[in-house]
Chain A
């Protein structure tokens, strides 16, 4: 009987440790598997940041379509309205490409007046 109690205790303890470990070291978000809260053009996303709706977009997954208007080392600008940095920087689109990207909206950059998206990848 006593042995069985110890056995149950050990199993419960192990379960608690595993659950705790999985909670603390849970995986990062997988943006590509998330449902997008906004799907549309880059300019539209930019104007949404002038409205109170912006709070709905922060830290959310978005899908944006437009033409690449600038390319630099860390990312690309789409329709002069959205700056996008990619999960795999080697897979950046080229200047003039029409693209649809999926990424995470991290906010509005007032220095450049652009919405910033990170962890993006090309959908189309």
Chain B
């Protein structure tokens, strides 16, 4: 009888892990850079970007609150929020999509590259996104990395001519997430 109860407890315990379909984080790190050589660095980092991955379907979503981007120069941060991103009107950037061909059984402790097909919604505009995304397992979690480029004009962000030569035409975005079972 005791053995029976023990086996039921074991099945319940182990199936818990197998049933976890959603992996998530609230502390993803997203960095973007639009620096031009020999001018002041235009770079910001956000350490509180949230993300959810459904491991059954490969669906992925990530949300960054614009106000959370931190710059080295406080004034640059203020201009970024007030003039460029208008973060009081458009407080978030949202990426959602599906990782093509995603299957947890393919994952190892080495990064594997997949493609994420989806959209990015920012500043009231939604753009299609098709970007490489690297995934590996790390103990009980999944580590996801991606980098891609965005163009300010795609989101109606105007760079005033006075600073136009100090801000790169394309913005390089880098994201790292360590997703844990939800």
Contact = CB atoms under 8 A, between A and B. Distances in A.
Contact of A25 (B26, B73, B88, B91): B73
Nearest to A119: B70
B73 to A, nearest CB: 6
B74 interface: yes
Contact of B180 (A23, A72, A106, A116): A72
Contacts, number: 80
A121 B91 CA distance: 23
Contacts of B61: 111
| Interface size, B (range) | 20 to 34
A108 to B, nearest CB: 8
Given A83-B48, A107-B91, A116-B65, A28 B74 contact: yes
B74 A27 contact: yes
Interface string A96-116: 000000001011111110101
Given A58-B88, A59-B88, A85-B48, A107 B27 contact: no
A24 B75 contact: yes
A73 interface: yes
A104 B79 CA distance: 18
Q: In the A-B complex, list the 8 residue pairs whose CB atoms are closest, starting with the nearest.
A: A74-B27, A107-B65, A106-B67, A107-B91, A28-B74, A106-B65, A106-B68, A111-B50
Given A58-B88, A58-B91, 7 more contacts: A25-B74, A72-B180, A77-B26, A85-B48, A107-B91, A108-B65, A109-B65
